[in-house]
Amino acid sequence: MEKLSGKVRAAVEKYQMIEEGDKIAVGVSGGKDSLFLLCALAALARYYPRRFSLLAVTADPCFGGREMDLSPIARLCGELGVPYIIEKTNLGRVIFEERKEPNPCSLCARMRRGILHNICVREGANKLALGHHQDDAAQTLLMNLFYGGKLGCFSPKSYLSRKKITLLRPLVFCEEREIAKACARMGLPVVKSGCPADGLTARKDTEELISALEGRFPDLKAKLLGAMQRAGLDGW
C-alpha cells in the first residue's frame, strides 16, 4: 500500500489534481481499481497539506434487472468515514435489451460517466476521481491507434466546462497487477461485475496483445506512458 500510495501522490502532484477545499467524488464500480483508489485517497486526505473531502458514488447498471449487493462496500465506506451514494440505473436494460449493442463497453462507460457527472453536480462535488490505471492508459492508446487510426488517450486530469467538473485519474502511475496484490493484502470487498460482456471485449484483446509483446519489449506499458508524456499527448 505504501509504495502504491506514493505513486498516487506522485500523480496527484505532477498533474496538480487536488486543491484546498475540494470535494472529490470517487466513482466506485465495485472492482479492485476503484476500491483501491477510494482507500488511497482516504489515506491521502489524512496527511495531505491541502484539505479535501471525499464522497463515494456508484451508478448501479442493474444488469439482468438485478441490483448489485453493495453492502460490503457500504461497510468499507463506513470504516473510512466516507459518505456513500448508490444510484440505481437502467443501463443494463438500455444497452443489452433495448439497443442490443454489439460493442457495449464504450456506450456503457459514457452513460455511466454521465450519471456520475450529474451526481457530482447534485452533491456539490467539484471533482470526480476515476480508477483508470497505467494498464488502462496503454490499452486505450493502442485501441485508439488500431481501431480508430488516431493517436489519443484519456487525460490524467481534464475539465468538463459544461458541468464545471474536473475529472481525475490518480492511478495512472499504478500497474494493475500491483493494485490487485494490494487489494488482496488489504482484503478489500471486491464486488464482481454482472455485465454479460465482461471479459469478452476489445480491451481484453488489447490487454492480451500487450502482455504478449512485453515478452519481447520489457516495460512496454511504462514506455508507452513515457512516450505520451514526452509528446504532451492529451494532457500527459
Distance CA 117, CA 103 (A): 23
Q: Which grid coordinates belong to 169?
A: 485519474
What does DSSP say about strands 52-60 and 165-168: parallel, antiparallel, or unpaired? unpaired
Of 115, 131, 130, 120, nearest to 164 (Cα)? 120
- Between the CA of residue 104 and those of 27, 82, 201, 208, what are the distances in Å? 19, 31, 9, 20
Q: Which residue has the cell 435489451?
A: 97
16 secondary structure, DSSP code: T
Is the torsion defined by CA of 144, 229, 139, 8 positive or negative? negative
- Residue 79: predicted pLDDT: 97
Q: Which of 63, 28, 62, 61 is nearest to 42 (CA)?
A: 28
Check: CB of residue 23 under 8 Å from CB of residue 52.
yes
Q: Can you tell me whether residue 140 is helix, strand or coil? A: helix
**Which domains can be identified in the chain, with CATH numbers?**
2-235 (3.40.50.620)
What pLDDT sits at residue 78? 97
- List CB contacts of 129: < 8 A, sequence separation 6 or more: 24, 25, 26, 27, 37, 41, 168, 169, 170
Distance, CA of 85 to CA of 28 (rounded, Å) = 10
Measured between alpha carbons, how far is 159 from 65 in angstroms, rounded to an integer? 34
Secondary element (H or E) of residue 23: strand 22-27
Helices assigned H by DSSP within the chain? 2-14, 32-47, 71-80, 91-92, 104-123, 134-148, 176-186, 202-213, 220-231
Contact 7, 174 (CB under 8 A): yes
Mean pLDDT for each consecutive 10-residue tract of the chain (236 residues)? 90 97 96 97 96 96 86 97 94 78 76 93 97 96 94 96 96 96 95 73 88 94 96 95
pLDDT of res. 199: 60
pTM of the predicted model as reported, rounded to 2 decimal places: 0.93
Closest CA to 135 of 105, 172, 168: 172
Q: Are strands 157-160 and 127-129 parallel, antiparallel or unpaired?
A: unpaired
